């Protein structure tokens, strides 16, 4: 008798998590699946199938979904079950505005006042980004993209600033993955190079402006994508009908 494949075969099964770590494991696994778009915006979540795939009881899955609801990644409707939250473009715009302010300032601070190894570390990261672009490794590039920004924040040694960025990351990462294309990878690579060039030259104004331009570019492309694919966004139709809806201070 042929066993039917699990609809959640993309979920990694645990080694042998201890009792106290099961909920954390399930939460991290589902979060990753949502952010990487294996679980797509609006998709119904089958708790029973997840339990079977991960080999866990319903309790840690329910707890994990409640935690992800608090993060804005899952909608839980009484008597109707759970779904992956649609991306809300207004939230993404606000998060990106926060990131632009913080990251542009971070680049300004580290330029001319950074650790001796920063330039080499960023150049090594850029080589990994180029390699990912050459083979269209979207997941690999996305990870190196996040790392590029983390390296800059890490050099500042301001943990509270980095914490603010981390709190906005999950929904932003999910939105940004929607526009990962070979063209976007190449554009981002070039934008990162301009940031690095500014830091290397010790020109804080150029480095900071390059970071702002990079974030504006990503946001503009995401808005255009949301207009074309309104069904993936909680407020996509409103964005399509009223362009002024996205009139945030970008550009």
Which tokens is 109 given? 């601070």
Checking if the pLDDT of 3 tops 70, the result is: no
SS3 of residue 84 by DSSP: strand
pLDDT of residue 74: 95
Q: pLDDT tens-digit profile of 43-73?
A: 999 999 999 999 999 999 999 999 999 988 9
pTM: 0.84
pLDDT of residue 78: 82
Rounded-to-10 torsion of CA 128, 129, 130, 131: 50
pLDDT of residue 14: 65
Distances (CA, A) of 162 to 96, 124, 158: 14, 22, 7
CA–CA dist 63, 68 (Å, integer): 9
Cβ 102 vs Cβ 160: under 8 Å: no
Q: State the Cα angle at 184 between 125 and 109, rounded to 5°.
A: 45
Q: pLDDT tens-digit profile of 124-165?
A: 999 999 999 999 999 999 999 999 999 998 898 777 777 777
pLDDT of residue 76: 93
């Amino acid at each position: 008798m042929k066993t039917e494949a699990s609809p959640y075969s993309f979920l990694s099964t645990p080694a042998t998590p201890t009792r106290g770590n099961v909920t954390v494991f399930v939460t991290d696994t589902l979060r990753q699946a949502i952010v990487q778009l294996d679980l797509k915006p609006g998709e119904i979540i089958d708790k029973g199938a997840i339990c079977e795939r991960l080999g866990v009881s319903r309790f840690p899955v329910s707890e994990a979904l409640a935690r992800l609801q608090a993060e804005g990644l899952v909608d839980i409707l009484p008597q109707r079950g759970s779904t992956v939250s649609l991306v809300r473009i207004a939230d993404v715009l606000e998060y990106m505005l926060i990131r632009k302010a913080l990251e542009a300032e971070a680049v300004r601070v580290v330029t001319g006042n950074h650790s001796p190894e920063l330039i080499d570390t960023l150049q090594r990261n850029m080589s990994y980004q180029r390699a990912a672009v050459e083979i269209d490794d979207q997941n690999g590039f996305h990870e190196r993209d996040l790392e590029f920004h983390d390296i800059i924040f890490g050099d500042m040694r301001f943990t509270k600033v980095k914490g603010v960025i981390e709190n906005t990351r999950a929904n932003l990462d999910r939105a940004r993955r929607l526009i990962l294309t070979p063209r976007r990878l190449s554009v981002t690579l070039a934008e990162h190079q301009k940031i690095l060039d500014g830091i290397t030259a010790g020109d804080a104004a150029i480095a900071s402006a390059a970071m702002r331009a990079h974030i504006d570019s990503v946001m503009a492309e995401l808005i255009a994508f949301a207009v074309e694919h309104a069904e993936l966004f909680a407020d996509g139709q409103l964005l399509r009908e009223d362009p002024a809806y996205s009139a945030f201070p970008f550009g």
